[in-house]
Homo-oligomer: A and B are copies of this chain.
Amino acid sequence: MAVSRPGGRTARVRADVLRAAGDLVAERGFAQLDLAEVARRAEVGRTTVYRRWGTAIALVTDLLLDMAEQSSPRADTGDLAEDLRANARLVQRTLADERQGALFKAVIAAATWDEQAATALRGFYRTRVDEWAPCVVAAIDRGELPAGSDAKAVIRAVSAPLYYELLITGQVPDEPAADRAAHAAFLAARAGAFVEARPARSS
């Protein structure tokens, strides 16, 4: 997706470097990411890349931060079932996209053995879950969901089956899978599945 970015040369250099890094991770996996090759592909001075990012993991962390920032804002249709479907379809399109899907698989695999990759990945999902959780909060305020429902848990529940398909069942999720995931999370949430347990209060 072409995104026009504000800022001058510095912003353009970052965009070029992150695009090259993303391409390389998607093509060969995280373990093969070499900063000199990123610089060559991005047509940016090697010193610039080493000075600004320094390590492959710093580059991937910045790439995921950028993707989290550039990714679509939450829906706000006034209907939670619709909002969750929009969220599920966004996740599904990302995982089904050839380049982004490969990138995520590479980073998720790396996160199983590399603590810094895991931290970068968690940062990405925290940003995305924080972006979408207000849909659920609004639905609670409208009385669509029981009070005390954990908004972030609802958003994570939409994604979980799609990642399970991708990583465990080994299928790239399609749009009907996204709709099923959203629908299941919605029905579970409405039935009170994500109401946070809290200790009974005396008095």
Residues of A that sit less than 8 Å from B by CB: 29, 105-106, 108-113, 118-119, 121-122, 125, 153, 156-157, 159-161, 163-164, 167-170, 180, 183-185, 187-188, 190-194
Counting from the closest, the 10 A-B pairs by CB-CB distance are A160-B164, A187-B191, A184-B193, A109-B109, A188-B188, A105-B112, A160-B160, A184-B188, A109-B112, A160-B161
Known A-B contacts A157-B184, A160-B160, A161-B160; A108 and B167 likewise in contact (beta carbons under 8 Å): yes
Q: Kindly identify which residue among B125, B180, B194 contacts A168, using a CB–CB cutoff of 8 Å.
A: B125
A185 neighbours in B (Cβ, 8 Å): 188
A118 neighbours in B (Cβ, 8 Å): 170
- In whole angstroms, what is the CA distance A164 to B122 when docked? 11
A119 neighbours in B (Cβ, 8 Å): 170
Are A156 and B167 in contact (CB-based, < 8 A)?
no
Q: Kindly identify which residue among B106, B161, B193 contacts A112, using a CB–CB cutoff of 8 Å.
A: B106
Please, which residue of chain B has its CB at the minimum distance from the CB of A190? B191
A160 neighbours in B (Cβ, 8 Å): 160-161, 163-164
